[in-house]
Amino acid sequence: MIGVTCLYLGFFMNRRFAMLHRPFFVILACSISATLALSAFLGQAKPVDHFDWIDVLGEGGMTVVTLLWLVATLFSRLKGRVTTLLFFGLLAMHLSMLLDLLDEFWLYPSNAWITTFESIPATLGMVIMSVALYQWHLEQVNVNEQLQQRERFYRDHSLSDFVTGLHSGVYMKQQLSREVALSEYSHQPFSVLMLDLKKFDRLHQRIGLVASDQVLREVAQCIEFNARQQDLTCRFASDRFIVLLPNTQQPAANVMLRHIIHSIEHCTRSLPRDISVQAYGTAVTWSIGQSSEQLITQLCQQIEQQKQSVSVAA
């Protein structure tokens, strides 16, 4: 049981989420300390040979597991109503289990209120947890609706770039803000690539508009060819492209970026011999609280830095 819980913790733990819940960690620490102090204040320590070790093991296990659930909840969820309900529901259950465990070590006077009170938090916790689970269900229904809407938008080609046939920058901006809203609900990370062609201005002047349009089409096809089914590609502006990678962390995005840059050089080999195209780019993974505008600004800043270093290297 503990092993499974540890796996669960390892898989879902996210320090950035935990930082959002500092007040909850303080409440948790204070409640546990107060319960321990209260129990020591009201009770008298039992001699060790009066301990019922089977009960200690069973009740201790439940106490530890409810505590692990609490911590896992705080490490794996963003702030919100469901998280607050889950926290207080689990906290009440945990304190009830703790009180139950403590009476294995402390003897309370027969009329002490603590002995009658100890099971009440568990019932209260279960009621709160039931409300939390229902709210979680509603949240999931909302996420599913957003997913369906996103799919419908992906299929809508009305906002296309007429030179390359890719989606336009306007469309990408819409999709990015939807993706941000979705990720705030689903907690799934996503990444965005921005690619730019090296010295396209010079090439454009040398080969003219029609041939350079053909280059843009070749590059667009190459990016589309290398993108996965769930990715969304667009021509963002002149020789600049964006690829939205849902459910993708930074390391995978970096691999995709390198792969696409490498492929562009190969894809454009079908062009006349004197035309060679090279690309450079950058990858950004959405971080909690970041808006789609901030994400695009970050991409543009990073690509400008790359542009400087590419120019210096040339």
Residues that bind ligand GTP (CB under 6 A): 163, 196-201, 204, 209, 212-213, 216, 238-239, 307
* Distance of closest approach, residue 233 Cβ to ligand GTP, in angstroms: 16
Q: To 10 degrees, the CA torsion angle through 129, 131, 133, 135?
A: -140
Report the candidate in 208, 198, 180 with the shortest Cα–Cα distance to residue 272. Answer: 208
Report the candidate in 256, 232, 211, 264 with the shortest Cα–Cα distance to residue 166. Answer: 232
Q: Which residue has the tokens 């999931």?
A: 140
* Distance of closest approach, residue 281 Cβ to ligand GTP, in angstroms: 11
Give the residue with the Cβ less far from ligand GTP, 32 or 271: 271
Give the residue with the Cβ less far from ligand GTP, 74 or 203: 203
Neighbours of 87 (CB within 10 A): 22
Helix (H, G, I), strand (E, B), or coil: what is residue 277?
A: coil
Distance from C-alpha of 226 to C-alpha of 256, rounded to nearest angstrom: 8
Give the residue with the Cβ less far from ligand GTP, 202 or 266: 202
Give the residue with the Cβ less far from ligand GTP, 213 or 224: 213
* Distance of closest approach, residue 255 Cβ to ligand GTP, in angstroms: 23
CA 184 → CA 32, 93, 135, 175, 218, distances in Å? 31, 28, 16, 14, 35
Give the residue with the Cβ less far from ligand GTP, 246 or 281: 281
* Distance of closest approach, residue 261 Cβ to ligand GTP, in angstroms: 13
* Distance of closest approach, residue 266 Cβ to ligand GTP, in angstroms: 19
Question: Which residues in 18-46 are b (16+ Cβ under 10 Å) and which e?
Answer: bebbeebeeebeebbeebeeebeebbeee
* Distance of closest approach, residue 215 Cβ to ligand GTP, in angstroms: 7
As given in the structure block, the two tokens for residue 44 are 């008298």
CA 83 → CA 22, 142, 253, 304, distances in Å? 13, 16, 30, 40
Give the residue with the Cβ less far from ligand GTP, 63 or 268: 268
Give the residue with the Cβ less far from ligand GTP, 182 or 220: 220
Instruction: Point out the residue whose Cβ comes nearest to ligand GTP.
Output: 201
* Distance of closest approach, residue 177 Cβ to ligand GTP, in angstroms: 25
Query: In the 8-state DSSP scheme, what is residue 79?
Result: S
* Distance of closest approach, residue 307 Cβ to ligand GTP, in angstroms: 5
Distance from C-alpha of 279 to C-alpha of 261, rounded to nearest angstrom: 6
Give the residue with the Cβ less far from ligand GTP, 46 or 217: 217
